[in-house]
Structure 1
């Protein structure tokens, strides 16, 4: 077994100002536990209450999206792998990032949706969110229509950014970042 360079990992986390990072199988209870740790850390850091709530909400939405996608594909809690990181930027904003393996077609659709959202101003995002709320749910009972992404975009102080990186085996790694 290869030795993990913990010092190098620590230095990388310090350089990127990472407060919290997780990589591995994600379950409902783990999402909750990490969320509680995140909230506790931000409260101890004396972060403004509105920033704490927004960072927490965005983290929860991103983590749940990964879990829902994995379950839809038939993955178990042990194979629903997520990579999540929350960092504090020098200007006081928080970068909330999440990523997972996706089918290329799903990833391309998601990146296109996020790129379209990135073009909207705050008022347009608000109007789109309200319009989406009034739309009927899909016949499968799962909205999947991007209401959560719209909410993340509304909470973000900068446009969302997404990346799709091809991986061996025909899948892609999708990553999303929101700045709160």
Structure 2
């Protein structure tokens, strides 16, 4: 099979996609893509704060995907994800990630993202502080949602997400944060 790479390149250019990855996310791959992202941001002459925010969002999203698959006991192939980093017409960076999750988890996560998207900056700050004070259960493997709240706090517009149902009882969850 021969893929029309020129058309793909044109699509990426039109949508201002800087970096795109699709496949299993291993720890070393997350690190390598992160290094490439840092270098790309440097070439773009991004401000240090923009670079840190974009890199932080990328790390938060990809590590969440990896940790989720590990908790589920899924193989690397099941831990597959799609990650896209693009610039919008206003020069802001959009970090997007998507992966397969259980439908129930997807519904819960979608509701959480929608709740956060409805909050203003002061409410997000209060939610973050409230979450910090909550005791974590013994053996908890999660950061209690702090990462997601922090993404919403740093974003320049409300978080956005989608959930597409699959036939096997799972769903594909996508999230976008604009910095």
TM-score by length of 2: 0.96
Where structure 1 has 5 or more consecutive residues not aligned to the other structure, the ranges are none
Structure 1 partner of 2:23 = 24
TM-score by length of 1: 0.95
Counterparts of 1:73 and 1:179 in 2: how far apart (Å)? 29
Q: Deviations over 1:124-173 (max 9, x none)?
A: 11111111112112223223521110011011000000000012322111
Structure 2 partner of 1:52 = 51
Report the Cα offset of residue 79 of structure 1: 3.1
Where structure 2 has 5 or more consecutive residues not aligned to the other structure, the ranges are none
CA RMSD of superposed structures (Å):
1.1
**Deviating more after overlay: 164-173 vs 107-116:** 164-173
Q: Describe the SS at the equivalent of 1:95.
A: strand
Residue pair 2:100, 2:170 contacting (<8 A) in 1 also: yes
Matches within 5 A, 1:1-180: 2-180=1-179
Report the Cα offset of residue 77 of structure 1: 2.8
Task: State the aligned residue count.
Answer: 179
Q: Describe the SS at the equivalent of 1:59.
A: helix
Q: Deviations over 1:45-70 (max 9, x none)?
A: 10111000000000000000000111
Report the Cα offset of residue 76 of structure 1: 2.6
